[in-house]
Amino acid sequence: MFKSKTFSFYMFILPWLIGFFIFTAGPMIYSLYMSFTDYSGLGAANWVGIENYQKIFTEDPLFWQSLWNTFFYTIFGVPLGLVVGYLLAVLLNAKVKFMGAFRTIFYLPSLVPTVASSLLWILIFQPDFGIANSILSFFHLPTSNWLLSEEMVKPSLIIMSLWGAGGGMVIYLAGLQSVPATLYEAAELDGAGKLRKFWHVTVPMTSNVIFFNLIMGLIGAFQIFTQAYVVSNGNGGPNYKSLFYVFYLYQDAFKFFKMGYASALAWILFIIILIFTLIQFKVFGKKVYYEYDE
Partner 1 sequence: MEIADVKAKPALKTKKESSIKRGKILERLLVYGLLIGLSIVFIFPFLWLIGTSLKPENEALTFPPTLIPNVWDFANYKDVFTIVNFGQYYMNSIIVTVGTVLGTVLSSTLVAYGFARIKGKGRDAWFVLLLATMMLPPQVTMIPVYMIFAKLGWTNTFLPLVVPAFFGNAYFIFLLRQFFRTIPKELEESAYLDGCSTLGIFWRIVLPLSAPAIITVALLSFMWTWNDFLGPLIYLNDDAKYTLALGILQFKGALLIEWGPMMAASVLIILPLIIMFFVGQRYFIEGIATTGGKG
- Binding to partner 1 in span 255-274, by CB under 8 A: 259, 262-263, 266-267, 269-270, 273-274
Does residue 46 touch partner 1 according to CB under 8 A?
A: no
Spatial separation of the C-alpha atoms in residues 242 and 240, rounded to whole Å:
5
Among 105, 141, 275, 279, binds partner 1 (CB under 8 A): 105
CB 91 within 8 A of CB 202: no
Spatial separation of the C-alpha atoms in residues 92 and 95, rounded to whole Å:
7
> DSSP string of 78-129?
HHHHHHHHHHHHHHHTTT-TTHHHHHHHHHHHHHS-HHHHHHHHHHHT-TTT
Only segment of 47-55, 62-70, 74-82, 127-135 that touches partner 1 (CB under 8 A): 127-135
Among 85, 175, 217, 236, binds partner 1 (CB under 8 A): 175
Spatial separation of the C-alpha atoms in residues 64 and 137, rounded to whole Å:
36
Spatial separation of the C-alpha atoms in residues 227 and 183, rounded to whole Å:
42
Does residue 83 touch partner 1 according to CB under 8 A?
A: no
Does residue 163 touch partner 1 according to CB under 8 A?
A: yes
CB 202 within 8 A of CB 179: yes
Number of chain residues interacting with partner 1 (CB under 8 A): 95
Does residue 91 touch partner 1 according to CB under 8 A?
A: yes
115 vs 186, beta carbon nearer partner 1: 115
Among 213, 232, 242, 251, binds partner 1 (CB under 8 A): 213
Does residue 238 touch partner 1 according to CB under 8 A?
A: no
Q: Is 41 helix (H, G, I), strand (E, B) or coil?
A: coil
**Residue 242 C-beta: closest distance to partner 1, Å:** 15
Only segment of 52-60, 196-204, 236-244, 250-258 that touches partner 1 (CB under 8 A): 250-258
Residue 109, preceding peptide bond in cis (omega within 30° of 0): no
Does residue 226 touch partner 1 according to CB under 8 A?
A: yes
